[in-house]
């Protein structure tokens, strides 16, 4: 039965509570409550009506019955899910903590000052400030213990040794501890010189960890990011039985000749927000298998090599000095910096001035446009107000000299995971040389996993601690990359060309092979091939795994060899004009807390289905054999000029070209002639060849959207 808000608050306030099974505790609330601090509903997975706007509970404490007359420590145990805003926990109107801002399912412990606990009636509230954005959360299973957190945990050690299966050598990695409900469960471990710790998660740089838990049953997952297996181990914590666990990982995804790079990493130390210190970031990078991390704290250049040395992880990766140039009109990740170079100017709102400063900075060769469809400081660079997403055109003439853009940001995913990929391919059609980028934008130890979104750069990866930065940067700029968010799509053309290459052809058919790669704990559902941004091939991938992990972290069902989930082989005719080819693989998101895929940062809908994605860089087919890659815009300009502003002639000349070239031609024609939507023009477009008609209509629909957006300025 659904209660009204006032009834629920009344029930919370005056319900009669029994003491929990532990004689030194009070069960404040059993089960989980759905709270919504403001409208509208945040996510469709929550009911339309919440149980309450805030949590409020009045309960009784009998210190004598609890054996706690002289208790020196009190602890709240609670479970939380889907926390995005700041929710303050108050004990008798005294703020004692906040819920952890993390969407994961977490059980954690909050210390309560002994002076806050009264004999008799007490009051616990959990609420947000007025005016805070809507947040649907679950909170409950709340118990107050007349013990300190340390007293609650078993005195018997849990000792973990994480090693590689093949070499038996210790390995950095991540340990994820969950209870019987699958909730991340707090330990008594703390961050130190070899561990970065948050509730339910321990990153270890040495492969060793020691901690304690309350008595109970738990599952531990050991992992090391995308390229490695996940090892699952279930155990029971008892007062009289120490646990010494030896867990082994396998390298599963083959990436020889590619360097794993995260171009977007932060620290609380130097950005001032998030929760990861620079020392903890060094440990998490090693624990997630990132080989080329770019340090991009806001408007500051930081050399993290001394911290990598200090934390003993410099053999696992090569740090690169970068900067997130954070302006009023967009964010750009830029690198590498020459020794001693100052940060670029971030105070201008004019992209030309910003990019002039970026490229004028000693050493800097890369400028990545970050999260182009997120609003920061009131600006969304790729909103219809500024950007026609069919032809890749900025409507206000902004300087578009960035040479890379984030197509996946695992800390700020999009409601439609393909949205930024389509934007990127539109930029290629416009004639911009732009490298696709996967990154994490992680400011935290666990909330958003560093390296979950990543970019694989073609470069020598044999010694991770000594990556050739110049080689990696050169190949990055050339587009010799693959983007990964739980999958890889490795494309080969005619057996020798791949991402960033110019494909030479004599008119023969093109043989295209796409290998979809991933570890055993992910799945892929489809692999696709795009030419100039248009889908030309698609192949479903049958499910290949179940949910059970064996002793060594591999699926009980036989899995594909060498991390290859699927191989697609296609043959296509060589087009009569240059095109860029891109392969994309997608699959369902990861639900397990050991690598859970996040919800969108700025959602466009309360409905969301998590997905993984892998994308090749673009390979250009030199169909006209002129030795260069000609974008759709180049062909469109020539055809429009030859048509002498005669629309029927233009439409006829376009019949041998693809939809992308038609859209570019529509844009150029409208710029010159001012109108494409009169009855005569629309009739001519309707009679054009199918791909030309579709190209013109897609452009006109995008143009109408931009006109509406700009009219609202």
The pLDDT of residue 20 is 45
Cβ burial, residue 506 (10 Å; 0-12/13-18/19+): exposed
- Which residue is it, tokens 């591999």? 554
The pLDDT of residue 168 is 96
Element (H, E) at 421: helix 419-430
CA distance 6 to 366: 56
The three-state secondary structure class of 398 is: coil
The pLDDT of residue 544 is 58
The three-state secondary structure class of 243 is: strand
Tens digit of pLDDT for each residue in 230-271?
Answer: 999 999 998 888 899 999 999 999 999 999 999 999 999 999
CA distance 301 to 320: 10
**Within 13 A of 529's CA, how many CA atoms are on the CB side?**
24
Looking at the chain, the whole-number percentage of residues with pLDDT higher than 90 is 88
The pLDDT of residue 239 is 82
Q: Where are the alpha helices (DSSP H) in 261-376?
A: 268-271, 278-287, 305-310, 351-359
Cβ burial, residue 20 (10 Å; 0-12/13-18/19+): middle
Q: Where are the alpha helices (DSSP H) in 455-594?
A: 469-477
CA dihedral defined by 399, 478, 515, 533, rounded to 10 degrees? 30
Q: At residue 549, does pLDDT exceed 60?
A: no
CA distance 232 to 358: 46
Q: At residue 609, does pLDDT exceed 50?
A: yes
Dihedral pair phi/psi, residue 565, rounded to 5°: -80, -40
Contact 560, 544 (CB under 8 A): yes
CA distance 460 to 464: 9
The pLDDT of residue 1 is 31
- Mean pLDDT computed over every residue of the chain: 93
Position 562 confidence tier, pLDDT thresholds 50, 70, 90:
confident
Q: Where are any strands of DSSP class E within 212-363?
A: 216-223, 231-237, 243-249, 258-265, 292-295, 320-321, 323-327, 330-335
Position 70 confidence tier, pLDDT thresholds 50, 70, 90:
confident
Sheet holding 510-517, edge to edge: 488-493, 510-517, 564-572
Average pLDDT rounded to a whole number, residues 57-73 = 86
Encoded tokens for 64: 């004598």
CA distance 383 to 398: 13
Return the ∠ at Cα 260 (arms to 223 and 491), rounded to 5°.
Answer: 110
Beta-ladder partners of 205: none
Taking residue 59's Cβ as centre, other Cβ atoms within 10 Å add up to: 18
The three-state secondary structure class of 656 is: helix
Structural class in CATH, domain 5-148: mainly beta
Position 421 confidence tier, pLDDT thresholds 50, 70, 90:
very high
The pLDDT of residue 687 is 96
Q: At residue 569, does pLDDT exceed 90?
A: yes
CA distance 143 to 503: 65
Average pLDDT rounded to a whole number, residues 110-116 = 93
CA distance 601 to 609: 14
Model confidence, pTM: 0.94
Contact 346, 325 (CB under 8 A): yes
Lowest mean pLDDT among 16-30, 93-107, 673-687: 16-30
Taking residue 307's Cβ as centre, other Cβ atoms within 10 Å add up to: 22
CA dihedral defined by 648, 651, 656, 662, rounded to 10 degrees? 170
User: Peptide bond preceding 179: is omega within 30 degrees of 0, i.e. cis?
Assistant: no
Q: Cα dist. 41→136, 227, 607, 690 in Å?
A: 7, 37, 11, 42
Tens digit of pLDDT for each residue in 436-472?
Answer: 999 999 999 999 999 999 999 999 999 999 999 999 9
Q: Which long-range contacts (CB under 8 A, 24 or more apart) does 692-695 make?
A: 692/651, 692/654, 692/655, 692/657, 692/659, 692/662, 694/659, 694/662, 695/654, 695/658, 695/659, 695/660, 695/661, 695/662, 695/663, 695/665, 695/666
| DSSP class of 373 | T
Position 21 confidence tier, pLDDT thresholds 50, 70, 90:
low
Lowest mean pLDDT among 325-339, 440-454, 556-570: 556-570
Position 546 confidence tier, pLDDT thresholds 50, 70, 90:
very low
The three-state secondary structure class of 281 is: helix
CA distance 382 to 394: 8
Tens digit of pLDDT for each residue in 627-665?
Answer: 999 999 999 999 999 999 899 999 999 999 999 999 999
Q: At residue 526, does pLDDT exceed 90?
A: yes
Structural class in CATH, domain 486-630: mainly beta
Query: Please, which residues have CB within 8 angstroms of residue 505's CB and are 6 or more apart in sequence?
Result: 494, 574, 621, 622, 623, 625
Q: Cα dist. 693→319, 516, 652 in Å?
A: 50, 34, 11
CATH architecture of 158-249: Sandwich (2.60)
Position 561 confidence tier, pLDDT thresholds 50, 70, 90:
low
Q: Where are any strands of DSSP class E within 450-552?
A: 454-458, 481-485, 488-493, 502-504, 510-517, 526-531, 534-540
Domain positions in the chain are 5-148, 158-249, 256-473, 486-630, 632-711
Taking residue 145's Cβ as centre, other Cβ atoms within 10 Å add up to: 24
CA distance 339 to 395: 38
Q: At residue 362, does pLDDT exceed 60?
A: yes
Average pLDDT rounded to a whole number, residues 542-571 = 64
Position 543 confidence tier, pLDDT thresholds 50, 70, 90:
low
Measured in whole angstroms, the distance separating CA 317 from the mean position of its chain's CA atoms is 21
Beta-ladder partners of 655: none
Dihedral pair phi/psi, residue 284, rounded to 5°: -70, -35
**Within 13 A of 648's CA, how many CA atoms are on the CB side?**
4
The pLDDT of residue 508 is 87
Encoded tokens for 674: 């001012």
Contact 53, 36 (CB under 8 A): yes
The pLDDT of residue 645 is 86
Domain 256-473 has CATH 3.20.20.140: yes
The pLDDT of residue 558 is 40
Dihedral pair phi/psi, residue 701, rounded to 5°: -65, -45
Do 486-630 and 158-249 have the same topology in CATH? yes
Looking at the chain, the whole-number percentage of residues with pLDDT higher than 70 is 94
The pLDDT of residue 448 is 96
CA distance 361 to 604: 37
The number of helices, as runs of H, and strands, as runs of E, in the chain is 14, 38
């Amino acid at each position: 039965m659904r209660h009204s808000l006032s009834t629920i608050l009344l029930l919370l306030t005056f319900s009669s509570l029994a003491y929990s099974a532990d004689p030194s505790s009070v069960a404040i609330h059993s089960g989980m409550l759905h709270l919504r601090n403001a409208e509208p509903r945040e996510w469709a997975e929550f009911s339309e009506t919440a149980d309450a706007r805030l949590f409020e509970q009045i309960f009784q404490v009998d210190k004598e019955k609890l054996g706690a007359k002289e208790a020196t420590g009190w602890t709240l145990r609670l479970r939380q899910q889907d926390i995005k805003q700041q929710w303050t926990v108050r004990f008798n109107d005294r703020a004692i903590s906040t819920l952890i801002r993390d969407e994961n399912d977490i059980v954690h412990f909050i210390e309560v000052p002994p002076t806050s606990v009264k004999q008799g009636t007490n009051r616990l509230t959990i609420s947000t400030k007025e005016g805070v954005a809507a947040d649907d959360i679950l909170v409950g299973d709340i118990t107050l213990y007349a013990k300190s957190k340390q007293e609650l945990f078993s005195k018997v050690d849990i000792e973990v040794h994480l090693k590689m299966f093949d070499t038996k050598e210790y390995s950095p990695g991540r340990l994820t501890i969950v209870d019987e409900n699958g909730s991340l469960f707090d330990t008594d471990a703390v961050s130190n010189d070899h561990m970065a710790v948050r509730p339910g998660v321990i990153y270890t740089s040495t492969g060793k960890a020691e901690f304690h838990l309350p008595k109970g049953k738990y599952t531990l997952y050991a992992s090391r990011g995308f390229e490695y297996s996940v090892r699952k181990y279930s155990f029971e914590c008892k007062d009289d039985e120490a646990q010494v666990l030896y867990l082994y990982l396998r390298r599963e995804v083959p990436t020889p000749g590619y360097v794993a790079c995260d171009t977007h990493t932060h620290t609380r130390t130097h950005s001032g927000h998030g929760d990861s210190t620079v020392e903890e970031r060094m440990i998490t990078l090693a624990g997630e298998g990132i080989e080329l991390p770019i340090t991009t704290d806001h408007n500051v250049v930081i050399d993290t090599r001394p911290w990598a040395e200090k934390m003993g992880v410099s053999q696992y990766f090569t740090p690169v000095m970068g900067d997130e140039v954070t302006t009023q009109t967009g964010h750009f990740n830029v690198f590498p910096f020459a020794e001693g170079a100052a940060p670029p100017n971030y105070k201008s709102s004019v992209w030309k001035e910003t990019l002039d400063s970026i490229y004028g900075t000693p050493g800097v060769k890369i400028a990545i446009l970050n999260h182009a469809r997120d609003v920061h400081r009131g600006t969304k660079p790729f909103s219809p107000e500024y950007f026609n997403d069919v032809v890749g055109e900025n409507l206000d003439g902004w300087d578009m000299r960035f040479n890379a853009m984030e197509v996946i940001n695992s800390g700020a995913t999009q409601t439609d995971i393909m949205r930024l990929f389509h934007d990127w391919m539109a930029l290629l059609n416009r004639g911009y040389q732009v490298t696709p980028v996967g990154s994490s934008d992680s400011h935290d130890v666990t909330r958003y996993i560093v390296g979950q979104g990543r970019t694989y750069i073609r470069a020598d990866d044999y010694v991770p601690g000594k990556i050739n930065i110049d080689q990696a940067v050169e190949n990055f700029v050339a587009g010799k990359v693959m983007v990964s968010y739980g999958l890889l799509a490795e494309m080969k053309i005619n057996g020798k060309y791949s991402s960033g290459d110019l494909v030479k052809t004599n008119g023969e058919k093109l043989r295209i092979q796409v290998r979809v790669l991933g570890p055993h704990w992910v799945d892929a559902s489809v692999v696709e091939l795009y030419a100039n941004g248009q889908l030309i091939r698609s192949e479903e991938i049958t499910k290949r795994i179940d949910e059970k992990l064996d002793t060594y972290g591999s699926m009980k069902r036989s899995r594909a060899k060498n991390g290859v989930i699927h191989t697609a082989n296609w043959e296509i005719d060589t087009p009569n004009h240059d095109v860029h080819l891109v392969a994309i693989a997608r699959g369902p998101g990861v639900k397990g807390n050991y690598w859970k895929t996040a919800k969108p940062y700025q959602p466009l809908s309360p409905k969301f289905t998590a997905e993984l994605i892998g994308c090749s860089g673009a390979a250009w087919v030199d169909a006209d054999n002129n030795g260069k890659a000609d974008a759709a815009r180049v062909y469109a300009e020539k055809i429009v000029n030859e048509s002498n502003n005669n629309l029927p002639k233009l439409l006829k000349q376009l019949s041998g070209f693809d939809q992308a070239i038609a859209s570019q031609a529509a844009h150029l024609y409208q710029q010159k002639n001012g109108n494409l939507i009169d009855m005569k023009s629309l009739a001519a477009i309707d009679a054009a060849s199918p791909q030309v008609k579709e190209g013109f209509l897609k452009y006109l629909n995008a143009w109408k959207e931009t006109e509406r957006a700009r009219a609202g300025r």
